Amino acid sequence: MVVHSARFFLASALCVAAPVAAQVTGDRAASLDVSATVESVCDIGGSPSGEIPAGVGDFGRRSLDSLDLSFDTLAVALTMTTALSIHCSEPAAYRVSLDYGDNPQGAQRRLRGPSNILIPYELRRGSASAQIWDNRPYAIDIVPGQLTNLPIWGRISALPPGLVDGVYTDRVRVTLEY
């Protein structure tokens, strides 16, 4: 039985070697499609996936007629609350940071409006009495598989002189580390 196996192997080896001895040449080309899908561990409101809406903070509308702008700076108390939605699929140590926006002066966030007028504002970590969001990452609790709403509270405490009507905006980038 062992001899029969050896003969079969030897015959196979001769069949493979025969085309080489005949000097047959040529080539063939083909393509192989290769892909990989990487599932996101986390999605955050406003990310390129578009699956979770962007967080929007709005201090509302104010009429210039209703504001006395005769002082150098008008003390006001304009506030807003919003939430940033985050969804993560895996357990991890999550940390989130907010930058100082597009119009900062040092660590002061500012809204920019018509005639490049800037209105300083602050963001806090959820409520008026909470810590101010600076640009450092802070640990947050996320339950994997569930949508988490990260509360953000904002305040404008003074308006600059020369304020004109128009829309004042800023863009704050949010970074989620895990």
pLDDT tens figures, 64-94: 655 555 545 566 778 999 988 999 998 999 9
Q: What is the pTM of this model?
A: 0.70
Over residues 119-172, the pLDDT tens digits come to: 999 999 989 999 999 999 999 999 999 999 999 999 998 888 888 889 999 999
Could you tell me the CA-to-CA distances from 15 to 2, 8, 19, 20 in Å, in that order? 21, 11, 8, 10
* 20-44: average pLDDT: 72
**Which pLDDT belongs to residue 64?**
62
**Which pLDDT belongs to residue 155?**
93
- Give the CA dihedral 53, 48, 40, 141, nearest 10 degrees: -40
Amino acid at 52: I
Residues 61 and 25: their CA atoms lie apart, in Å, by 79
Architecture of domain 42-177: Sandwich (2.60)
E runs forming strands in 51-90: 74-88
